[in-house]
Structure 1
Amino acid sequence: MTRRALVIGASGGIGTALSAALATYGSEVTRLSRAGDGLDLTDPTSVERAMSVLRGPFDTVLIASGILAPEGARPEKSLAEIEAENLARVLAVNAIGPALVLKHLPRLLPQDAQCVVGVLTARVGSIGDNHLGGWYSYRASKAAANQIVRTAAIEISRKRKQAIVVSLHPGTVETPFSKAYSGHAKVTPNEAAANLVAVLDQLTPADNGGFFDWAGKPVPW
């Protein structure tokens, strides 16, 4: 299990639970969030300021930030509901934000020891698993995040052979994020966190660049 962990989005429901779960296993957990640190993932200057003061190495990094839709809006049910401003906002938070964090990670990871970076995306970001349609902005943002994670995994592993960089689907978690949507069975943040920590503990460098659900099963791209 991890010794030093970094959790981005640590004030959210699942981010808080992940931080607590890692601490329970004896990890020294560094937490970053908008609420606690003023971290704005849509602002490169804010990300630079927060990440530049960190000192590694961290053997576990989790990016647990994200939005379902902008405040006051909802996921689109049809093409007619697409609004450029809302689409841009969701992409900024869910895809560009993680990319800006990943940009700073190579110097914070160990050179010659196993480490894992998990970015929480979502199964609805899977193009191959999309059978229902709808939710254009959210699906597109998570698909973009998955591509960013996959590409970062390739680059990081060139110099850090034991690095594991993956996308993670936590399941539908009972948070304000999902409160208005009751179509799926939900788990508590603590249950989701325990599941994800168990998955992280089972991953090996051979899994680098993968996309896994809360049970450790591969999710189609």
Structure 2
Amino acid sequence: MSALGPRAVVFGAGGAIGGALVAELAERRVPEIHALTRAQADILDEADLAQVAARLGADGALDTVIVATGLLHGPGIAPEKALRDLRSDVLAKVFAVNCIGPMLVMKYFLPLLARRRPARLAVLSARVGSVSDNRLGGWYAYRAAKAALNMAVRSAAIETARRAPQAMVLALHPGTVESWLSAPFHGGVPVAQVVSPALAAKNLADVLENAKLEQSGRLLAFDGQEIAP
């Protein structure tokens, strides 16, 4: 059996990275994988999350929960180049998907993690959410939402350690992945650094399997290295 345990849940299974993570968990012989798309579990709908959590929790503790959702661009939404580009509706939407939704998943699913064996909840974050690493500016909404998510992960890790001492809460940076989310922004990235969803999923699963308990609450890159706040 995989080090990721017998019971796993993946939110955002309809996306490139989420779908690849489901396949990777299956490859690693995780016996029970709940692959949840937005239609099955809307992370912005508390009633929806509560219902799914109650259903899955009724069958026992969870070992691995991954939130593979995110929003960088879309109809009428694009990373801002300057303050003049800010719009309140876009800010609200980007924060909702990238921070509020994952926080609500933490609310309902961290209590379901196993208490007496290693377990983990991980959310997809980004290096651009690191304040100390920001040297280019711009991307206000996405950067700020990921920075806020990283802080939420830290707080959740502290709280979770009191209830489940062997459980970890982690933020993960998948790198630049061949996906709809990042496709318009590959121009400035060397081709060799753009990875397939399958390779990204393998890298992230490796990080989850090898993460140490003392790393709970931190942002880890696809190679396992910690990214400074």
Shared fold (TM-score greater than 0.5)?
yes
Tell me by how many angstroms 1:40 deviates.
2.1
Note if 1:204 corresponds to 2:212.
yes
User: Partner of 1:34: helix, strand, or coil?
Assistant: coil
The residue number in structure 2 matching 1:45 is 47
The residue number in structure 2 matching 1:97 is 101
The residue number in structure 2 matching 1:30 is 34
Q: Percent identity?
A: 44
Q: Aligned-residue CA RMSD in angstroms?
A: 1.2
> What letter is aligned with 1:96?
I
Deviations 1:69-122 (A, max 9, x none): 343321111110000000000000110000100001233111111111111100
Aligned equivalents of 2:133 and 2:67: distance in 1? 23
The residue number in structure 2 matching 1:20 is 23
Note if 1:9 corresponds to 2:12.
yes
> What letter is aligned with 1:48?
A
Note if 1:58 corresponds to 2:62.
yes
User: Partner of 1:117: helix, strand, or coil?
Assistant: strand
Q: Is the 8 A contact 2:150 2:218 kept in 1?
A: no
Q: Is the 8 A contact 1:70 1:89 kept in 2?
A: no
User: What number of residue pairs does the alignment pair up?
Assistant: 219
The residue number in structure 2 matching 1:192 is 200
For structure 2, the 5+ residue unaligned runs are none
Aligned equivalents of 2:163 and 2:49: distance in 1? 24
Aligned equivalents of 2:212 and 2:112: distance in 1? 19
